[in-house]
Amino acid sequence: MAKPENDSLFEAPPMGEQERMVEAILFASADPVSLKELIGRMPHGSDPAEAIVYLRKKYEGRGVHLVKIEDAYAFRTAPDLGFLMQKETVEVRKLSRAAIETLAIVAYHQPVTRAEIEEIRGVSVSRGTIDQLIDMEWVRFGRRRMTPGRPATFVVTQEFLDHFGLENSRDLPGLKELRAAGLLENRPPPGTEVLDDEDDADDDQVEMFEEGTE
């Protein structure tokens, strides 16, 4: 068996070989494989990032595509061929309207606290709704907000992006328009400004949001 990882004395394999390797590794995995893992698994000195550029081009227009999800890569069948796959279709758990809306709010407002989700929806969010999304691995806990009470925040996961075919959360449909329209701002109700100005809560939130989505 080859043990290429330690053989720094040897040159990296030719790019064509590296392409083959990336192809094999990505084919073997149902989940996206991060660039870091590719580097770790390929022979020393390999440049999988470059191999991916070539490989991606090779699969353009084919029945299978090479897609990018954050810093990871995966092969996925072309969406226009979904009709052939009735056999592979997995029943996705039916999401309630509350769950779908909550998911969208987390995706577009992340990192977002439970109180903020409730403020946007105008109703309290049941524990089960967020639990369900966490259970599906579409939502996870983010950093705690640096405001009184240090509430937990929620963010969407790489599985979420993978599921909806998004390269990253900036690619969420209509995100730019919403931001331009000011609809992603955390606007406190009139009369509560005084309280919010006291601590820098607002600044912090805006900053965190931008960090999370840009």
Partner 1 sequence: MSDPDFDTDGESTVLSVSDRVAAEALIVDVGAYEGPLDLLLTLSRTQKVDLRQISILALAEQYLAFVDKAKELRLELAADYLVMAAWLAFLKSRLLLPPDPQEDGPSGEELAAHLAFQLERLAAMRDVAAKLMGRDQLGRDFFARGITEDVQRVRKITYTASLLDLMQGYARIRTKDDFRPFVMDREAVMTMEQALDRMRGMIGFAGDWTDLSSYLPDGWNSDSVRTRSSTAATFAASLELVKEGKIEIRQGDMFAPIQVRKRADPDGKT
- Tell me which stretch binds partner 1 (CB under 8 A): 25-33, 42-50, 144-152, 201-209: 25-33
What's the CA dihedral at 43, 48, 50, 51 to 10 degrees? 90
Residues in contact with 15: Cβ distance below 8 Å, sequence separation at least 6, in sequence order: 47, 50, 51, 54
**Interface residue with a copy of itself, options 9, 14, 60, 90 (CB under 8 A):** 90
Q: If we measure between CA atoms, which residue out of 75, 37, 39, 30 comes closest to residue 55?
A: 75
5 binds a copy of itself, rule: CB under 8 A: yes
Residue positions counted in the chain: 214
180 binds partner 1, rule: CB under 8 A: no
CB 92, min distance to partner 1, A: 5
CB 111, min distance to partner 1, A: 16
Strands 33-34, 72-77: pairing kind: antiparallel
Binding residues vs partner 1 (CB under 8 A): 24, 27-31, 41, 74-79, 82, 85-95, 97-101, 103-105, 107-108, 120-123, 132, 136, 162-166, 172-174, 178, 181, 183-184, 187, 189-191
